[in-house]
Amino acid sequence: MMVRLFSNKSISCCMKQQGVALITVMLIVALASIIAAQMTARLQMQMQRGTNISFNQQAYWYALGAEAFAKRVLIDAFKDEPSITHLEQNWAIGANSYPVDFGDIGGELSDLQACLNLNALHPSAKTKNQNDSTNTVGQNTDLPAATILEALILNLNIEDVSNFEAEAMVQALTDWLDDNDRITGSGGAEDNDYASREYPYLAANNYLGSLNELRLVEHFTPEIILVLEPYVCVLPNNSQNLININTLSAEQPELIQAIFDISIEDAQSVLNARESSGYEDLNDFFSLPELSDGKVEDWQKEVFVVDSDYFKLKANARFNNSYFDMNSIMQVTKNQEIQIISRTIGRN
């Protein structure tokens, strides 16, 4: 008689144990697959990140190459004409782009003395006749730039901006630049005005760093800044108020109109009378019919020059799918060397 070694119950229990083991193995394999997939994805991300960093760095060096090339262009432009700057020189040809390996390099040079320097409202700004207590230029301060800026804002016919708003903007900017907490006029603004906002901050009490900083100043809205942008600029840590009549755009007579307080038609005639190579002598400029007959005051004459020391380069570079934009402010020194005084990354 044969003996049954395993019962049906024992066989069933063994099969269940094998099933649990199989499920456990499958879970381990699935978990290992998920971990391996995540490791692979992270590795690919790190590799792509490294590639992007390498491409961005190459684009950055391309932008620096544009800067070096711009220096050479300026040096060559002033080699034959060291005492005059005009729009027929090589630096003024406009935006250009050059192909390079796996990308391209572009750039555009502009004269930062073909506009009104907003830092000229800083208290450190000097004029030749500033010590004359009987001579007060402008309604808000004794600085010509304040008068020019207020008149410019009015001449641009900005919507909902009257004499009161224009004066208030100049006063607020003056308070932003000066180093005291005294409010200039009824439109001025100091720390208490900015500290009471939803997101509080304090007045800079220093030079503007860029035109974008104007957004923080009381009364200056983005719409107003957008209209002003072609006519004004910012020289870092520099309060000079010198405008090169040779490089001033013929399409912006409002700045001439603001300086001389003349009609827009006369201002346009002044710019149209300028030859393409500009003026070598400012006396030729001031002898124009629109400006002669004693119409030009001393402080107005002091605003204009025929040569420029500050330029702005808008450089852009592409390497594969990486893009880099950089703005460089350059200064031409007395020995005709080019010095970089400011660099900002980005299009604006």
Last residue of a domain, one of 219, 236, 253: 236
Q: Rounded to whole angstroms, how far apart are CA atoms 133 and 164?
A: 26
Residues 141 and 228 in one domain: yes
Radius of gyration over alpha carbons of the chain, in Å? Answer: 33
pLDDT tens for each residue of 275-294: 988 999 999 999 999 887 66
pLDDT tens for each residue of 228-266: 999 999 999 999 999 999 999 999 999 999 999 999 999
Q: Rounded to whole angstroms, how far apart are CA atoms 175 and 169?
A: 10
**Can you give the pLDDT at residue 193?**
92
Residues 149 and 100 in one domain: no
Residues 153 and 79 in one domain: no
Residues 89 and 177 in one domain: no
Contact 270, 243 (CB under 8 A): no
Q: What is the mean pLDDT of the chain?
A: 87
Question: What percent of the chain shows pLDDT beyond 90?
Answer: 64
**Between the CA of residue 322 and those of 49, 103, 315, what are the distances in Å?**
12, 9, 14
| Residue 93 falls inside a structural domain | yes
Contact 154, 118 (CB under 8 A): no
Residues 94 and 168 in one domain: no
| Residue 178 falls inside a structural domain | yes
H helix count then E strand count, the chain: 9, 9
For tokens 């073909």, name the residue: 114
Question: Which tokens in the block code for residue 24?
Answer: 């456990």
Residues 164 and 199 in one domain: yes
Residues 199 and 101 in one domain: no
Residues 161 and 215 in one domain: yes
pLDDT confidence bin for 7, thresholds 50/70/90: low
pLDDT confidence bin for 142, thresholds 50/70/90: low
**Can you give the pLDDT at residue 4?**
52
| Residue 298 falls inside a structural domain | no
Whether the predicted pLDDT of 131 surpasses 50? no
Domain that holds residue 163: 123-236
| Residue 35 falls inside a structural domain | no
Whether the predicted pLDDT of 33 surpasses 80? yes
Residues 82 and 134 in one domain: no
pLDDT confidence bin for 134, thresholds 50/70/90: very low
Residues 139 and 86 in one domain: no
pLDDT tens for each residue of 320-340: 888 999 999 999 988 778 999
pLDDT tens for each residue of 144-163: 999 999 999 999 999 889 99
Which CATH number belongs to the domain containing residue 185 in this structure? Answer: 1.10.40.60
| Residue 253 falls inside a structural domain | no
| Residue 177 falls inside a structural domain | yes
Residues 81 and 141 in one domain: no
**Can you give the pLDDT at residue 11?**
60
Last residue of a domain, one of 236, 263, 292: 236
| Residue 262 falls inside a structural domain | no
pLDDT confidence bin for 113, thresholds 50/70/90: very high
pLDDT confidence bin for 17, thresholds 50/70/90: low
pLDDT confidence bin for 91, thresholds 50/70/90: very high
**Can you give the pLDDT at residue 137?**
36
| Residue 161 falls inside a structural domain | yes
Q: Are strands 338-345 and 322-332 parallel, antiparallel or unpaired?
A: antiparallel
Last residue of a domain, one of 182, 205, 236: 236
Contact 249, 231 (CB under 8 A): no
Which CATH number belongs to the domain containing residue 332 in this structure? Answer: 3.30.1300.30
pLDDT tens for each residue of 298-314: 899 999 999 999 999 99
When divided into structural domains, the chain yields a total of 2
Residue type, 52: N
Residues 98 and 131 in one domain: no
Which regions of the chain does DSSP assign to beta strands (E)? Answer: 96-100, 103-111, 116-117, 232-233, 243-244, 304-305, 310-319, 322-332, 338-345
Whether the predicted pLDDT of 223 surpasses 60? yes
pTM of the model: 0.81
**Can you give the pLDDT at residue 201?**
95
